[in-house]
Structure 1
Amino acid sequence: MIHNIIKDKPTRLFIILGGFFIANAILAEVIGVKIFSLEETFGFPDATFSLLGEEGLSFDLTVGVLPWPIVFIMTDIVNEYYGVRGVRFLSVLTAGLIAFAFVVFYFSIRTAPAEWWRLSQDKNGVPDMQAAYTQILGQGMNIIVASLTAFLIGQLTDATVFRQIKKLTGEKRIWMRATVSTLFSQFVDTVVVSYIYLYFALGFSFPRVTAIAIVGYTYKFAIAILCTPFIYLIHGMIEKYLGHKQAADMKKAALELQPGTS
């Protein structure tokens, strides 16, 4: 049985795409506790500016934004060949796995540390490994509800917009349905996570949250445009792997199959 599953190209492709989708989504959640300076990373001074009355803004972003473009590329590719139901299945599965991961983090943090391990990295500038472990893996729990809500809403927005554009354009304009759907979903994702976490949970002012969201979305907008060539590259690789006839049949079925039907 397993041999037949693995030998089936569409099934194997879905597993590969789903693997990249899930892995990068979980990685983004785990590494996202770090905030980095985009300008300084590329050797430029901070671009300090004001927006909506908020001063001292710059492109300080969560490291979690780095693997997210892969998630959105995978979303569009899965939508292209497996439809909205494929995206919805992976999104719900991924959200469940992320929640499971943070439950594991929660209990792992609360295990009693061995004393020699807790002090083992003092010579490297980490005087308390348990505190460092808790800070890195535990900090993300403050944002998990906002992040998962934004993720699910953003993914469903991406899939829906992608589908509607494809219904209008057919097989043409891959760049349009991939880029526009990502821009919409990134906007929704940014707004939802920013206001749930920063405004409602942390009590930031509305102008400050809005300014931060605009800065974050500006970065995501630029990345979405830059990722467009990769959509064509991956499409070409999949077409070669599946064969043009099978690929065309899958795309037709994905477009015709309504969400909720089998």
Structure 2
Amino acid sequence: MLPVSSYARKKQQLYLVLSGIFVVNALLAEIIGVKIFSANALLGIPNTIPGDLTAGVLIWPAVFITTDIINEYFGREGVLRVSFLTVALILYAFLIILLTTHLPPAAFWLDVNKVDAQGQPFNIDFAYQSIFRQGLGIITGSITAFLIGQVLDATVFQALRRITGSRMVWLRATGSTLISQLVDSFVVLFVAFYLFGNWSFEQVLRVANTNYWYKFAAAILLTPVLYLAHFLIDRYLGQEETTELQQEAAANVSV
């Protein structure tokens, strides 16, 4: 078995790397989530089935895969710790972005693009503000859904872990993701675009349904990635150290 200092160092480094991946992808997902795009147009298929998605869902699978890995090795407390930190960083990022939208634009910058590709008048400062100045509703919806989803994911994961023990990693990872994202997909759109916006309830349900089934498919398809991550982490830590860390996580021992 590795000396305590070496094990502790590897443990801290692992948590740092996983937390960094988690924070970056969660922050990016929140920033780009303001755009609603057509998956049908992207894939070149008819609009006979709902195909509208928020851009944030494209990288959200990386968030819940990382959530499950952190939960496996550092427990519910490890997940909640990085989740609360991420919320603080998201609020900080939105505040800084909001402040930049109020900066007076330089005259030469405004003159860079007087017209767009179709020859229409184009105000680059207005475009910047339209993209980055997310409304209170979107921020509130995003943060609310994120926290609810993370708490639910971490709790369900550990509940399934108590049932399955060290077996069936795929079940507790996929199961917790499917349950938490069912709530997350609806809450963020309901708060952001129904309570604070002008979407109809039917429109919220349609987009939330499409978002959820994308996340459902991604959770299933990314199962091999989850096992690959476990394999690499186990090799990095060593078998005895991995077992010890997972036992600590199951007992909710702090990092």
Cα RMSD after superposing both structures: 2.1
Match of 2:149 in 1: 154
* CA deviation map 1:133-175 (0-9, x unaligned): 1011113654000100100110010000000101110111011
Structure 2 runs not aligned, ≥5 long? none
Q: 1:90 to 1:5 in 2, by over 3 A?
A: farther
The amino acid that maps onto 1:112 is: P
1:143 partner SS: helix
What TM-score results when the alignment is normalised by the length of structure 2? 0.91
SS class of match (2:134): helix
Summarize the Cα distance change of 1:205–1:123 in structure 2 as closer, same or farther, 3 Å threshold: closer
Give the equivalent residue in structure 2 for 1:220.
Answer: 215
Q: Distance in 2 between matches of 1:247 and 1:5?
A: 13
Inter-partner Cα distance in structure 1 for 2:31 and 2:203: 25
Choose from 98, 109, 112 the match for 2:104.
112
2:159 aligned counterpart, secondary structure: helix
Unaligned runs of 5+ residues in structure 1 are 50-57
**What is residue 84 of structure 2 aligned with on the other side?**
92
Aligned-partner Cα distance in 2 for 1:124–1:208:
31
Q: Which amino acid aligns with 1:105?
A: I
Is the 8 Å Cα contact of residues 72 and 182 (structure 1) preserved in structure 2?
yes
- Match for 1:73 among 60, 65, 68? 65
Aligned to 2:158: 163
Q: Aligned letter for 2:28? A: L
Contact 2:193 2:199 in 1 (8 A): yes
Change (3 A) 1:41 1:5: farther
Distance 1:7 1:168 in 2: 29
Distance 2:35 2:204 in 1: 18
For residues 29-108 of structure 1, the aligned pairs below 5 Å read 29-46=30-47, 48-49=48-49, 58-108=50-100
| Identity value in percent | 44
Q: Aligned partner of 2:174: which letter?
A: T
Look up the equivalent residue of 2:76 and give its one-letter code.
V
Q: Match of 1:144?
A: 139
Partner of residue 172 from structure 1, selected from 144, 167, 171: 167
Cα gap change, 1:184 to 1:243, in 2 (>3 Å): same
TM-score (norm 1): 0.88
